[in-house]
Chain A
């Protein structure tokens, strides 16, 4: 589904900063894949590269076999539709209703009006917010806003949903309901999910596979269960010991 090969990203400025060094990762269709690390480990840079907000300095990212960094224009727009992204800060349009927010990507791709309405109703149903269609984001709680963001990200029927710290601003109870929603989406709609997080609990409850990232390197990857049971790298052990509980 998504294959990352020897990806590096260096930010040049007064001093060169190597944010990512030789990252290789293979996400299979239907996976829920966790990428965990401490702040500053390079998680956000990796997400920015996968979501095409930033271009890698070297290496390739393949989506469905296509190298995302060699195409442009129309083809790139098509490829972007295969990729839904949700963010920690939700990033909703504050002056538009929930319906309009979810419809936004569909309007961008010039979907006919009646089809937009049908699709938005369907998405509102999926995320359980049918009664909030005409409300504004400021009238919703954090968890509800993230549901709107999820619905919006799913609007163009993406194959992959990229989640950047999706629950880091939410309380434990709301976190659980969002994680359940993501798992539902993965199982019922067959959407591959990549979750970037610093919360071990999120990886444990949601992800079958995990990659641990530290100082721009992937230090460990594999099935979540195996990595949790027998952590090999210091950082993984640290993440597990500081997370507490099991």
Chain B
């Protein structure tokens, strides 16, 4: 009882911050990562708008982004973060690093989803006179929607993990609490409770997205 009284407000605030960071960064990472993933598919050798040079540049950028460990990226981005949000700590500062760190990841997820679309369907649309823009908006995206939703759940959960890591360098949220209490003060109970909260959040997100993907996928006969 005492434990709850003492730590509940802090744990609630931490959960709130984690959810806030995750939601904001997921939305923003998709705002940039989705077009980037589409662009990678389009500029491929067998894509709708082949451009080997642009494709090579995009691949290069994505690979660099994917190869920097998130914690290091976050520290390296402190000057940029300060420029954008005015300070290098707290949830808003973390969102900047989370978005930049997740864009290449999201682009790869989107690329994977669009790759699943049968090339024949794209060609059939071309014979019907569809423009490239129409093929993106009316074929690629709607046809891969269930897969995009599954990718979204993976991206979101990855971002929860990233945001918790950010706790080590002042991002706030549940990760911050776990590190401060569990690592610095040896208060394992608090740490275990934060871990349980993180597990709960991840489970809920995964289940919700799975159900949604299944519901909208018309390839599955119900």
Partner-B contacts on A (CB < 8 A): 51-53, 77, 80-81, 83, 85, 87, 89, 91-96, 104-105, 107-109, 136-139, 152, 156
Contact = CB atoms under 8 A, between A and B. Distances in A.
Could you tell me the dominant secondary structure of chain A's interface residues?
loop
B143 to A, nearest CB: 5
B218 A138 contact: yes
A139 B129 contact: no
A80 B134 CA distance: 16
A105 B118 CA distance: 18
Contact of B124 (A91, A137, A138): A91
A82 to B, nearest CB: 11
B218 A94 contact: yes
Contact of B221 (A107, A139, A152): A139
Given A94-B218, A138-B218, A138-B221, A89 B129 contact: no
Contact of A95 (B123, B129, B134, B142): B142
Given A92-B121, A94-B219, A51 B127 contact: yes
A173 B31 CA distance: 50
Interface in B16-56: none
Contact of A81 (B118, B121, B129): B129
28 contacts: A51-B127, A52-B127, A77-B129, A80-B127, A81-B129, A91-B118, A91-B121, A91-B123, A91-B124, A94-B218, A95-B142, A95-B143, A95-B146, A95-B219, A96-B142, A96-B218, A104-B128, A107-B138, A108-B128, A108-B129, A108-B130, A136-B218, A136-B219, A137-B218, A138-B218, A138-B220, A139-B221, A156-B128
B121 A95 contact: no
A145 to B, nearest CB: 12
